[in-house]
Amino acid sequence: MYLVESKGGAIACMLLALFFLGTWPAILTLLERRGRLPQHTYLDYTIANLLAAILIAFTFGQIHKGTPEAPNFLEQLSQENFPSVMFAMVGGIVLSLGNLATQYAWAFVGLSVTEVMTASITVVIGTTLNYFLDGKINKAEILFPGVGCFLIAVCLGSGVHASNAADNRAKLNELPKTNEVEAGNELISFNGAFTSKGGLKDVENGNHFEEKAKAGNADFLVQLENRRAIKVFGKSTLIGLGITFFAGFCFSLFSPAFNLATNDQWHTLKEGVPHLSVYTAFFYFSVSCFFIALILNISFLYRPLLNLPKTTFKAYLNDWNGRGWAFLAGLLCGFGNGLQFMGGQAAGYAAADAVQALPLVSTFWGILLFGEYRKSSKRTYVLLAGMLFMFIVAVGVLMASAGHRK
């Protein structure tokens, strides 16, 4: 079994995990914006995510010959470590629920703000729990000011979302009121477009537009709504924020649960039974993550959320449009989580929460690929810059607090 033992190796794992965990949300967002149903995408994603855990377990978990104190992956499968296995599986369940929720939050709140807010909530709650579980090996005088910076980023993220929503409403209101329909409690007008149960449609050309609009203007917003799978126009901004806060709460629990699985701080294992290795715990973690995602998403095929169209398992099997991208997202997430846990076992899980800086990567993809916040108001830009600045400071402080587990 290979173990990361140096502080430098742990930081290298965190940085690589940061890139992986910041990239996979952008891929799933891209598929949703192209119209692929999130139920189909998430089923593909979760299969690849489990495959990544299996690959890690049978490679890093089996590299060297095991010892009685540190058995290999296969040796641990037959040991009496049920309490630790349960902690790992609880961590997988809450992570799966959080990932599932964010898939819908991206449509309502946007990739950048969703990732910042969920990551900040994760750090504020999860890092505090990990600090005490790890026996305070991280420097509290450095760690908790970083947690405070994340908390400020949550508040700024809420401001960015509200300001950007107001900007979009202003852009849409500038369009000639050729068609007006009531959606919820709001009256929405579009240039040559109207809303229906199937979403927005172009009056003359069905669901297609003659020219692709530039990112940031009202026509672009109309085209995006027309094409995407999750329709958001006319829905309250509180729906997106509610989903985002729920996801952040779920994310805040998975790392402490994994910490308990690998270090047994509550002494639930029998005397003489070795702690679960990172690789064994990650395997059980990913198995539970897979099964909860499988159960929920198959049910969502037939009873979809947020007025999404119904589909079937046969339709999912035949839907190859974007399947390769969904598999790639699952692999990136799986390897990213594995690297995060490998680094956390060496340097402390509180410091490993620095990978929650993944919104910096997601924001880059969001602006580059999706044109988020293009042609927004000065107020939105000021709030966005403040949010990202606080995030950068928080990440640096969190990494500086890294300790070393004996």
The yes-or-no verdict on residue 104 having pLDDT over 80 is yes
Q: How confident is the model at residue 199 (pLDDT cuts 50, 70, 90)?
A: very low
For residues 283 and 343, the model is more confident at: 283
Q: What is the 3-state secondary structure (H, E, C) of the chain?
A: CCCCCCHHHHHHHHHHHHHHHHHHHHHHHHHHHCCCCHHHHHHHHHHHHHHHHHHHHHHHHHCCCCCCCCCCHHHHCCCCCHHHHHHHHHHHHHHHHHHHHHHHHHHHHCHHHHHHHHHHHHHHHHHHHHHHHCCCCCCHHHHHHHHHHHHHHHHHHHHHHHHHHHHHHHHHHCCCCCEEEEECCEEEEECCEEEECCEEEECCCECCCCCCCCCCCHHHHHHHHHHCCCCCCCCCHHHHHHHHHHHHHHHHHHHHHHHHHHHCCCCCCCCCCCCCCHHHHHHHHHHHHHHHHHHHHHHHHHCCCCCCCCCCHHHHHHCCCCHHHHHHHHHHHHHHHHHHHHHHHHHCHHHHHHHHHHHHHHHHHHHHHHCCCCCCCHHHHHHHHHHHHHHHHHHHHHHHCCCCCC
- The proportion of the chain whose per-residue pLDDT surpasses 90, expressed as a percent, equals 29
Q: Mean of the pLDDT values across residues 40-56?
A: 95
The yes-or-no verdict on residue 210 having pLDDT over 50 is no
pLDDT of residue 192: 37
pLDDT of residue 402: 61
Q: How confident is the model at residue 212 (pLDDT cuts 50, 70, 90)?
A: low
Average pLDDT of every residue of the chain: 80
The yes-or-no verdict on residue 126 having pLDDT over 90 is no
Distance of CA 310 to the CA centre of its chain: 25
The yes-or-no verdict on residue 6 having pLDDT over 70 is no
Give the lowest-confidence range in 49-63, 102-116, 286-300. Answer: 102-116
Q: How confident is the model at residue 201 (pLDDT cuts 50, 70, 90)?
A: very low
Q: Mean of the pLDDT values across residues 225-248?
A: 84
The yes-or-no verdict on residue 29 having pLDDT over 70 is yes
Q: Mean of the pLDDT values across residues 20-29?
A: 89
The yes-or-no verdict on residue 193 having pLDDT over 70 is no
pLDDT of residue 44: 97
Per residue in 262-314, pLDDT (tens digit) is: 888 888 999 888 989 888 999 999 999 999 999 999 999 999 988 889 999 99
Give the lowest-confidence range in 46-55, 99-108, 202-211. Answer: 202-211
Q: Mean of the pLDDT values across residues 174-188?
A: 48
pLDDT of residue 253: 93
Q: Mean of the pLDDT values across residues 30-44?
A: 93
pLDDT of residue 299: 95
Hey, which of 114-128, 230-244, 375-389 has the most confident mean pLDDT?
A: 375-389
The yes-or-no verdict on residue 78 having pLDDT over 60 is yes
The answer to whether the CB of 108 falls within 8 A of the CB of 360 is no
pLDDT of residue 198: 42
Q: How confident is the model at residue 406 (pLDDT cuts 50, 70, 90)?
A: low
- The proportion of the chain whose per-residue pLDDT surpasses 70, expressed as a percent, equals 81
pLDDT of residue 172: 82
